[in-house]
Amino acid sequence: MIVVMKSGATEAQVQSTVARVEKMGLKANVIVGTERTVVAVVGDERVLDAPSLEAGDGVAEVMPVVAKYKLASREVRPESSVITVGGFQAGGGHLGVAAGPCSVENEEQIVEVAKAVKAAGATGLRGGAFKPRTSPYSFQGLKEDGLKMLATARDETGLAVFTEVMSPEEVDLVAKYADVLQIGARNMQNYRLLEAVGRCDKAVLLKRGPSATMDEFLLAAEYILDGGNERVMLCERGIRTFEAHTRFTLPLASVPYLHSKSHLPVIIDPSHGTGHTYMVHDMAVAAVAAGADGLIIEVHPDPPNAASDGYQCQDYAQFENTMRRIQKVQKALTD
Amino acid sequence: MIVVMKSGATEAQVQSTVARVEKMGLKANVIVGTERTVVAVVGDERVLDAPSLEAGDGVAEVMPVVAKYKLASREVRPESSVITVGGFQAGGGHLGVAAGPCSVENEEQIVEVAKAVKAAGATGLRGGAFKPRTSPYSFQGLKEDGLKMLATARDETGLAVFTEVMSPEEVDLVAKYADVLQIGARNMQNYRLLEAVGRCDKAVLLKRGPSATMDEFLLAAEYILDGGNERVMLCERGIRTFEAHTRFTLPLASVPYLHSKSHLPVIIDPSHGTGHTYMVHDMAVAAVAAGADGLIIEVHPDPPNAASDGYQCQDYAQFENTMRRIQKVQKALTD
Amino acid sequence: MIVVMKSGATEAQVQSTVARVEKMGLKANVIVGTERTVVAVVGDERVLDAPSLEAGDGVAEVMPVVAKYKLASREVRPESSVITVGGFQAGGGHLGVAAGPCSVENEEQIVEVAKAVKAAGATGLRGGAFKPRTSPYSFQGLKEDGLKMLATARDETGLAVFTEVMSPEEVDLVAKYADVLQIGARNMQNYRLLEAVGRCDKAVLLKRGPSATMDEFLLAAEYILDGGNERVMLCERGIRTFEAHTRFTLPLASVPYLHSKSHLPVIIDPSHGTGHTYMVHDMAVAAVAAGADGLIIEVHPDPPNAASDGYQCQDYAQFENTMRRIQKVQKALTD
Amino acid sequence: MIVVMKSGATEAQVQSTVARVEKMGLKANVIVGTERTVVAVVGDERVLDAPSLEAGDGVAEVMPVVAKYKLASREVRPESSVITVGGFQAGGGHLGVAAGPCSVENEEQIVEVAKAVKAAGATGLRGGAFKPRTSPYSFQGLKEDGLKMLATARDETGLAVFTEVMSPEEVDLVAKYADVLQIGARNMQNYRLLEAVGRCDKAVLLKRGPSATMDEFLLAAEYILDGGNERVMLCERGIRTFEAHTRFTLPLASVPYLHSKSHLPVIIDPSHGTGHTYMVHDMAVAAVAAGADGLIIEVHPDPPNAASDGYQCQDYAQFENTMRRIQKVQKALTD
């Protein structure tokens, strides 16, 4: 950590900063510059509330040098993690694709979708039973009935079931039926929920919050890892920016960034990441080209009549086309 | 709701859109423009998943005309709500100020702070017992012990106690000690938590998520109101933008906007909304000048040694100065 | 255009809105909804300052239905434009790649780079002679000397020369040496400059401003097209968001969006769009996979010693590797 | 400047970084931390292209410690600058208010507006003659005729005339009639224009670009100061964020920030900063409460019939009310 003193900071202010650093059990190196004095702190800065040093007299700014996450970090674990859930594999050169409707609507539908996406090459089935909805008046999902239908679809296809869990007290119930617990973007910093899935033996797909920084995202993963659950996948699903022609802005540079900082697999969601069906194909293919370890895509047999998210679902023909293209691109990358 | 057809949409596509609208029980007016046909939908559009119409063939865009919230809306309730909790009042011309440390650290401290902020003019005491922390390795608060200390401070001063609740299963415990349940920015769309405080008889301070749109913010309030709890305060605490010289960007135009759309009181948090102590005074005074119904301010006896958030706390002298200035400005606004 | 009246707007207010619309030579359709009245305007709304209707009594909001650009629009010109400049071609299935240093540093260097990038497959040479620099104290480029060196490099390699022009009065000078005039992101709305290149007979690469909406971007192109210059390429180079691990956020969904709205070729700049060398390869490949018509990439023989932008340049080996991969992906897309 | 080496950087990489720093004429201090080595650079880092060090092998990140601007900095000039133009004064406790229409429409109108805003307390008259318009098809202003009308209005009222200049070659013409040259937000980084007004003897109002960082904003001012023109006012007019209920987001924390970093006066534009008439009053009053040195407000006799920007203009009665309130708040701040 680097503490930058204000221009004109007194020697006493510098010494008081040094004293506070030493009180925290760390070592302070004072460097007197032409215009500013800086105090370089040596030791494990994760133990301290770094920004609080900023409150000291004469301190201009505190710049952390080391990220706070450890278990999620590639420095701690250099080899890429591979997450395997039945036939679904992501990471270390494996590309896992989960596809399916936004909401489970009925058993017949989810079984049919599962068969269709499997035939196209998917190894995971996504589908919402507990739906987080912006409005209390919108359809909230089929709940446990939906979970049972997902389990039936898995039994018939062997696909790994991905579904969202919204609350700590629902973790056991959802874990009873699902293979991968999805933490939605709105819950990325719901720490009780992260702790609860951290104690669970199911793999987790952690979606990035739409305004989360990368450090916040990796620290949310750290909560789960720290709870003892090592099977975490990081899902980039778009951030909130001034762009209005997409529902969210999908920054594919998250793939190389996260790969450089973390060993965890990176999954891209081109459906929420664009919010418009006509963009999903191009962004799915681009995500694979950027090195993503997996995709999660909304697919519905009849998007205009979907219970939710129809505007960003692919239909079967679109999804098949996307899968064909992805397989070719993947081959082009490894040739 | 307005459905804009694509340029070149066929008559059959227009009719299919009309049919879908009518199937939803609404009425469709077709207007053929020079370049585009639009379908204006008449009826209560809240019942439908408006964007799903976008998935129809030939549809370019769907533009909602009416917001989805009702109970939070000023159209439904034209007079401003006043929230009264003991001596604390916000809304309808009343300015409520809650102040106190980020975290409760010990009983002596919280009682001392309570007395100091009360002497300066505050009517509420803020203090965290359950702390949502970005890193699992940071101080997580004193939990129930902290709540007891807050209750002691209330007993000694009569201030209304504001404190955060992080999870549905903690609502009863926190409600046992607190007067106002605070929903943190990271939990603004934790719907299970919103439902739980909606069933509770304590007032709620709902903080805006850093990337929440105003519709999302008011719909989060709607969850609480719809649960039966009418005492909701809306707290603007800053949004995430590209600005790096403040921790968040505090948009004070939220005050006139929310006042135009909703009857609920609007509270400003200049501490989180700037992230730097030296800006808190100016933004607190500006918030009052912009018409805010209340403020929530971090105050600590010794900011450089605070357990958390020292960089954005005021000390006693700073807070007293801010309160003096606020009272003068408030008078200048009503003269 | 749709004019949404306020809830409770009077009949007189509606009529006054209708009168203003008719005064503009357009036709107004009044639709009385359950909660709101809307006025749907028929006619070419491009002639009017749409938002000014918002100032009328009782008006809540004005929603444009048609974009203001015409010449840039795919509705006006359905087939994709192909821009050909010597051996460089972009659009309609052609992928054009321009590469080279941020700044021209000396003749030997630029000729050497030109040969290297040509050997790797580039058909354009980029290089700055007039450099827009954030600080007045930074290196401002070699100016006309730099232009001459670029022309020499073209003479030796046949590559099309791309270089920036910063001011209307410099257009003639730059056009004397360059093949493609680049309008930098900071000048995207420098209308005098757009008008000046619009009168010129050189192709133009128009970079998107970091906070420009797509409508603003396409209207900037419209200024050039309206001036008589049809050879405009749209360059997405990243937008400003809260993300700090990249210098800008590169939204590749701009490719399908711009292709849906405009016939102009779309070029991606993965160097400025990420700001870090290690991300350039992945984003260049992803851009091609997303359907981009071209790339502009910073390449320098010795990035750590570049006069500017060393942190985002590829060296020769990196660029060759990227070009090889791009060619394979391009083939995978068209197979 | 602090150069952070990658975890695992070799001694040779550290030495190579040190060598590059020393080659730039600066001194390097190596600090070996528990997890990272950092190189603290001593000397005037403004001379170098700091980020280029990032291209070195083994370098993780470069963190500048000193801002690049000098003349704009309060470190160089501790006392606040006061800009005086006729009766208009801003800075050092003086509040200057310029008001008037977006566009000059005709002589009678501009003279009438000038008299009205003067009567309400304004000391400056704003009005556009050269209008930067997003669309080439929108009204572009009356040009020199408009300038003459502004000069007439000044002659009749004594108000200082503020008007925009869009291009270096128009500076002389505009300076012939205007008292304060306004650089629009879209031209904040039009360096040729900044250089041209830097050579001019008129005061300058520099508007912040909607995605400019504060360093970029102050460096744009530095271009003007460095050209020899000391009379620069910084105008915050809102930034681009995801918020859609305001046209731009107006961050009033810019006032304390800019006051802490620079001696230049800070002017707030609540008209563009919100984009809606109904918010202008509250934000104007809040800006004064936040410590702004001046305001620039759009005022039109008949906003619904304004040639441009009617949706964000105040009419006379609204402006008078705002001025009355501002004067009271100003008094409340200095009592």
Q: What is the pLDDT of residues C228-249, one digit of tens each?
A: 999 999 999 999 999 999 999 9
D166-169: long-range contacts, CB 8 A cutoff, minimum separation 24: D166/C190, D166/C191, D166/C192, D166/D130, D166/D132, D166/D193, D167/C167, D167/C168, D167/C190, D167/C192, D167/C193, D167/D193, D168/C167, D168/C168, D168/C169, D168/D192, D168/D193, D168/D195, D168/D196, D169/C168, D169/C169, D169/C192
**pLDDT tens readout for residues A125-181:** 999 999 999 999 888 899 999 999 999 999 999 999 999 999 999 999 999 999 999
Tens of pLDDT, residues B79-105:
999 999 999 999 999 999 999 999 999
Of B159-168, C51-60, D270-279, the poorest mean pLDDT is in C51-60
Asked if D184 and C97 touch (Cβ cutoff 8 Å), the reply is no
Q: What is the DSSP string of B211-264?
A: T--HHHHHHHHHHHHHTT---EEEEE--B--S--SSSSB-BTTHHHHHHHHBSS
Mutate one of A24, A27, A35 to test the D interface: name it (highest D CB count within 10 A).
Answer: A35
CA of residue A232 relative to chain centroid, distance: 9
Q: With a CB-CB cutoff of 8 Å, which residues 97-136 of chain D face chain C?
A: 132-136
Q: Is C241 on the interface with B (CB under 8 A)?
A: yes
Please report residues of A whose CB lies closer than 8 A to that of D44. 34-35
Q: Which domains does chain D have, with CATH numbers?
A: 2-63 (3.30.70.1140), 83-334 (3.20.20.70)
**Cβ-based contacts of D310 with chain C (< 8 Å):** 49, 51-52, 54-55
Q: Is the pLDDT of residue C51 over 80?
A: no
What integer best gives the mean pLDDT of chain D?
A: 94
For residue A332, give the nearest of C214, C279, C328 by CB distance: C328
Count contacts between A and D (CB, < 8 Å): 64
State the Cα–Cα distance between residues C5 and C14, nearest whole angstrom: 7
Question: For residue B74, with 0-12 CB atoms within 10 Å meaning exposed, 13-18 middle and 19 or more buried, which class applies?
Answer: middle
User: C113 pLDDT exceeds 90?
Assistant: yes
Backbone angles phi, psi at C214, to 5 degrees: -65, -35
CA distances to A219, B106, B153 from B305, in Å: 25, 13, 21
Mean pLDDT in residue range B129-153: 94
| DSSP code per residue over D265-280 | -EEE-TTTTT--HHHH
B interface mutation test: which of A20, A24, A137 has the most B CBs within 10 A? Answer: A137
3-state secondary structure of D145: helix
With 0-12 CB in 10 A as exposed, 13-18 as middle and 19+ as buried, what is C148?
Answer: middle
Q: Is C22 on the interface with B (CB under 8 A)?
A: no
Inter-chain residue contact B75 with C7, CB threshold 8 Å: yes
Nearest by CB to B66, from C36, C44, C63: name it: C36
d(CA D73, CA A23): 35
Contacts of C134 in chain D (CB under 8 A): 68, 189, 215-216, 219
- Angstroms from C250 CA to nearest CA on chain D: 15
How far apart (Å, rounded) are the C-alpha atoms in residues D147 and D159? 14
* Nearest CA among B245, B246, B288 for reference residue B267: B288
Using one digit for the tens of pLDDT, what is the confidence trace for D304-334?
888 888 899 999 999 999 999 999 999 999 8
Predicted pLDDT at D176: 97
Residue A211 is nearest to which of B55, B169, B240, comparing CB atoms? B240
Q: Does D67 touch chain B (CB under 8 A)?
A: no
**C59-63 β-sheet, strand order:** C27-32, C37-42, C2-5, C59-63
Q: Give contacts of A239 with chain B, Cβ < 8 Å.
A: 211
Sequence letter at residue D57: D
Suggest the residue from A49, A57, A241 to mutate for an interface test with chain B (most B CBs closer than 10 A): A49
* A14 three-class SS: helix
Q: pLDDT tens for residues C288-327?
A: 999 999 999 999 999 988 888 889 999 999 999 999 999 9
What pLDDT sits at residue A306? 86
Separation CA D309–CA D134 (nearest Å): 12
Structure tokens, D68: 């690049």
Which tokens belong to C11? Answer: 């009949």
Give C257 to chain D, closest Cα distance, Å.
19
What is the reported pLDDT for B47?
Answer: 63
H-assigned helices in D227-276: 254-261
Tell me the two tokens of residue A39. 């105090």
B293-335 pLDDT, tens digit per residue, is 999 999 999 998 888 888 999 999 999 999 999 999 999 998 8
Burial of A245 (0-12, 13-18, 19+ CB in 10 A): buried
- pLDDT above 90 for D47: no
Q: CB distance from A23 to chain B under 8 Å?
A: no
Helices (H), chain B: 11-23, 107-120, 144-157, 171-177, 191-198, 214-226, 254-261, 277-289, 316-334
- pLDDT (tens digit, 9 = 90+) per residue, B105-119? 999 999 999 999 999
| Rounded Cα distance, D148 and D174, in Å | 10
User: What does the pLDDT average to over D286-308?
Assistant: 94
pLDDT exceeds cutoff 80 at B50: no
Determine whether the interchain pair A135/B222 forms a contact, defined as Cβ–Cβ distance below 8 Å.
yes
DSSP state of A211: T
- Per-residue pLDDT, D51: 66
- Whether residue A119 is predicted with pLDDT greater than 70 in this model: the reply is yes
Classify each residue of D29-65 as buried b or exposed e, where b means 16 or more C-beta atoms within 10 Å of its C-beta.
bbbebeebbbbbbbbebbebbbbbbbbbebbbbbbbb
Contact D80, D291 (CB under 8 A): no
CA distance D2 to D65: 7
Chain D residues whose beta carbon lies within 8 Å of the beta carbon of residue C215: 134
Q: Nearest CB to B65: which of C32, C36, C240?
A: C36
Q: Where does the pLDDT of residue D13 fall: very low under 50, low under 70, confident under 90, or very high at 90 and above? A: very high
Say if the Cβ atoms of A213 and C242 lie within 8 Å.
yes
Name the β-bridge partners of D160. D124
pLDDT of amino acid B51: 66
Size of interface A-B (CB pairs under 8 A): 145
Contact check, Cβ <8 Å, D249/B257: no
In angstroms, the Cα distances linking C278 to B41, C319, D285 are: 50, 12, 48
Of D211, D257, D290, the CB nearest to B245: D257
Asked if the C-beta of D74 comes within 8 angstroms of chain B's C-beta atoms, the answer is: no
Question: Does the distance separating the beta carbons of A239 and C239 come in below 8 Å?
Answer: no
Cα distances from A325 to residues A120, B126, C269, in angstroms, run 11, 56, 24
Residue D3 has φ and ψ, to the nearest 5°, of -105, 120
Residue B48, pLDDT score: 64
Chains in contact with B, where contact means 3 or more Cβ–Cβ distances below 8 Å, are A, C, D
A63 touches chain C (CB under 8 A): no
ipTM over 0.90: yes
pLDDT tens track for A253-296:
999 999 999 999 999 999 999 999 999 999 999 999 999 999 99
DSSP letter for each residue of B160-178: EEEEE--SGGGHHHHHHH-
Nearest CA in chain C to B42: C33
Distance from CA of A118 to the nearest CA of B (A): 24
Least confident of A16-20, A299-303, C65-69, D50-54: D50-54
Of residues C156 and D29, more confidently modeled: C156
Q: Does B249 touch chain A (CB under 8 A)?
A: no
> Cα separation of D241 and D239, whole Å?
6
Tens digits of per-residue pLDDT, A211-253?
A: 999 999 999 999 999 999 999 999 999 999 999 999 999 999 9
- Chain C residues near residue B44 by CB distance under 8 angstroms: 34-35
3-class state of residue D83 by DSSP: strand
Residues A40-69: tens digit of each pLDDT: 888 877 666 666 788 888 998 888 888 889
Name the minimum distance, in Å, from the CA of C33 to any CA of chain B. 5
C36 band by pLDDT with thresholds 50, 70 and 90:
confident
- Note the pLDDT of residue A48: 64
| Chain A: residue whose CA lies nearest to C289 | A286
C52 Cβ under 8 Å from any chain D Cβ: yes
pLDDT at B49: 64
With CB atoms and an 8 Å threshold, state whether B285 touches D333.
Answer: yes
Decide if D235 contacts D203 (C-beta within 8 A).
no
Q: What is the predicted pLDDT for the residue at C119?
A: 98
Q: How confident is the model at residue C48 (pLDDT cuts 50, 70, 90)?
A: low
CA dihedral D32, D38, D42, D46 (to 10 degrees): 180
Sign of the dihedral defined by the CA atoms of residues A193, A195, A200, A206, in that order: positive
- Measured between alpha carbons, how far is A204 from A123 in angstroms, rounded to an integer? 16
Would the CB atoms of B289 and D291 count as touching at under 8 Å? no
pLDDT, chain C, mean: 94
Q: Provide the pLDDT confidence category of residue D266 given band limits of 50, 70 and 90.
A: very high
pLDDT band at D107 (very low <50, low <70, confident <90, very high): very high
